[in-house]
Structure 1
Amino acid sequence: MTKQSMYFTMIWHALLRRRSRMLIALLAVAIGATVLSGLVTIYYDVPRQMGREFRSYGANLLLLPTGEQQVLAENEISSIANLLPSDKLIGIAPYLYDHMKVNEQPLLVAGTHFQTVKKVSPYWQIRGVWPDENSEDVVLGAEVAERLQIEPGQLVTLASNDSEKKVKVAGIVRTGGKEENFVFLDLSLLQQMLHKEGMISVAQASITANETELTEWTHTIEQQVPGVAPRLVKQVTQSEQTVLGKLQALVYLVTIVVLLLTLICVATTMMAVVTERRKEIGLKKALGAENRSIILEFLGEGLALGTLGGLMGTILGFFFAQAVSVNVFGRGISFQPLIVLLALVVSVSVTGLACLIPVKIATDVEPAIVLRGE
């Protein structure tokens, strides 16, 4: 039998002889690794998940005309969309605002692309249906519908300075905001009636990104599209950063506490093991064993616990993070091999650190005193 195989056999039998104590230490390491792996996975995935959640609150970037201009060219929005990463851009909803008469009453109207609005502002609640793309149907804000006493399916008359058109009300929208005082219709229809083809007043963009990334993109847009003034929606972006910061701080705190508790549990267990084995240690020293071999033996036991507990914990941690993500965000997470490696390294490091005090106690054992039974 080689020295290495004998060393591993000795560690294995030492662990088996004290199954109950070692099982407690193993569970402590496994639980610590589970929490560590799960929380780090959540920490890694929270910005992406929270970004998606905040996108349901509407746009986080406005695209306005610069200087004294009142309108933007619609093709400039396409240029801006090409500057933004496609995997992070939810959508850009253009709007053209003006006044028109609706059933002889002067009201605010807004032309837009309804299918894009559904992506950018998913919090809009529609009673009825969304109009199809390029449809002449309109959507009334809840306040307007109540004032005109109009229900979905009824007809209303839109009148500009030189044109008039009867259109059907497809739905009534509630947003809890100023949108309830507007009449919404297809952008191309409003442009045609107002003779403002290719013109828009503003565009609202929804992008899955943090405030730093958004700020960088606003500078890029300002430099490459001179006629557009991008502005962050501060309420949304700052709220997102605040919530993310607090969640990530909580993850740090819980992880540190769990690792400290794991370290204490493993250290206490190994100290109890050393106390039980004082005679064995004394006998080994009396037979010529060096402190180095005693240290390697106890460190080997601790690192074996760390490796096994770390492997168990990283597997359980992924399922823990998956359960949290599904229940909180309604979406799954992807497996991250680097997080598994990190959790395993930290588990082994913590158990190795926890063994330092017990190992010091083991090396201080005096053979003569122990073997006399003192």
Structure 2
Amino acid sequence: MAGEGSGMAKFSLYARMIFNSLVRRRSRMIIALLAVAIGAAVLSGLVTVYYDVPRQMEREFRAYGANMVLIPTGNSQVLLEKDLSAAAALLPPEKIVGIAPYLYGTVKVNEQPLMVAGTNFKQVSRVSPYWQVEGQWPGENPAGALIGAEVAERLALEPGQEITLVAADSGAEKKVVVQGIVRTGGAEENFIFVDLSLLQQLLGKAGQVSVAQVSIMAAQEELSSLARRLEEKAPGLTTRLVKRITQPEGIVLAKLRALVYLVTVVVLLLTLICVATTMMAVVTERRKEIGLKKALGAENRSIILEFLGESLTIGGGGGLLGAVLGFLFAQAVGLSVFGRAISFQPLIAPVAILVSIMVSGLACLIPVKMATGVEPAVVLRGE
């Protein structure tokens, strides 16, 4: 117990000495503290953004459409809805944005042959949010239809009009109401879109689809892994990744990773230089004090511990302040760039503090060597 009390007393005395030393030179120490805080803020902010950006980018890229397509295997022309449901069950539900099935066929409207697609409009609005609809989405209306802009112009159709779809093969008929005009700048403008079940009845293809578009929040590596899993475990379908979506996402993330590494290294080097310069100036100011301590019997070990304690205290305080500022910086980036808040990464704060302490300790090596090299006789003579 006596040893513990003595140890606590020594530590208390040591802490008081460090505190008093920092307070006496607070202007220089504040500069070093701010340098460490800025370095830690940039480090923690960039790392927070880096870890959250893939999630944010996945959401942004989902606005450009599906990143996976499911098609029939081999010579088969159709997928069974039950097989599609089994495939969907193999995907992580929390990552699925939407799965839009499509059944394609040919119909006649006013004796003009046209392409028609049956789908689930609720899923299409999730998978293809870039569709511009003049009017409204059919929603739950089984007799509602969306008309491609080219078809609407050719047939002079407007929202609210009723048209009759005649199956090209069987002559079966279904009446639908035009609820919206679709503009995408792509092939969709040449199609009539109706409810999937309605078209299945019209074409006599109950429970069948031609293709399914999948929008899923996953990076390129994870997406490829999911595609392989589907092909191994889901019968009757083949997966195709939409490279115009997946490749740019991977390229952007790779460049972002390189940028984060480069900026982090530069900032840490600048922080190290600033702290080292400050501590060297402190050693120069305190040469007489150090010489007097040595003349009175102080060992180099005590001199080293004193400067090291000051440096590590600055590193810990600056790291803590920088971790808080870094999270605020990351939030500002997330809100300004993506319009969404950045999620908190609990491990980043202690890592930023630890790195700040390590950098401050490393920056103290040269000043400590200068301090231990002070010759008491020379300094006290005023040389």
TM-score, normalised with respect to structure 1: 0.98
**8 Å CA contact retained: 1:113, 1:133:** no
Q: Which of 179, 185, 194 in structure 1 is aligned with 2:188?
A: 179
Check if 1:266 corresponds to 2:294.
Answer: no
Q: What is the aligned partner in structure 2 of residue 65 from structure 1?
A: 72
Residues 218-256 of structure 1 deviation map (CA, whole Å, 9 limit, x = unaligned): 121111112101111111111110111112211111111
Runs of 4+ in structure 1 deviating by more than 3 angstroms, as ranges, are: none
Helix, strand or coil at the partner of 1:140: strand
Q: Which runs of 5+ in 2 are unaligned?
A: 1-5
Pairing of 1:1-374 with structure 2 (within 5 A): 2-160=9-167, 161-374=170-383
**8 Å CA contact retained: 2:143, 2:175:** no
**8 Å CA contact retained: 1:90, 1:208:** yes
Residues 236-281 of structure 1 deviation map (CA, whole Å, 9 limit, x = unaligned): 1111101111122111111111111111111110000000001111
Helix, strand or coil at the partner of 1:337: coil
**Partners in 2 of 1:103 and 1:116 — Cα distance?**
30
Helix, strand or coil at the partner of 2:115: strand
Q: Which runs of 5+ in 1 are unaligned?
A: none
Shift of residue 19, structure 1, vs aligned partner: 1.1
**8 Å CA contact retained: 2:291, 2:375:** yes
TM-score, normalised with respect to structure 2: 0.96
Which stretch of the first structure deviates more once superposed, 340-349 or 131-140? 131-140
Instruction: Output the amino acid matched with 2:110.
Output: N
**8 Å CA contact retained: 2:83, 2:235:** no
Shift of residue 134, structure 1, vs aligned partner: 4.9
Shift of residue 166, structure 1, vs aligned partner: 2.7
Shift of residue 99, structure 1, vs aligned partner: 1.1
Residues 256-311 of structure 1 deviation map (CA, whole Å, 9 limit, x = unaligned): 11111111111110000000001111111111111111111001000000111111
Instruction: Output the amino acid matched with 1:295.
Output: I
Instruction: Output the amino acid matched with 1:361.
Output: M
The CA RMSD measured in Å over matched residues stands at: 1.1
Percent of paired sites with the same residue: 68
**Partners in 1 of 2:253 and 2:87 — Cα distance?**
27
Q: What is the aligned partner in structure 1 of residue 3 from structure 2?
A: none
Count of residues in correspondence between the two structures: 374
Instruction: Output the amino acid matched with 2:132.
Output: Q
Instruction: Output the amino acid matched with 1:73.
Output: L
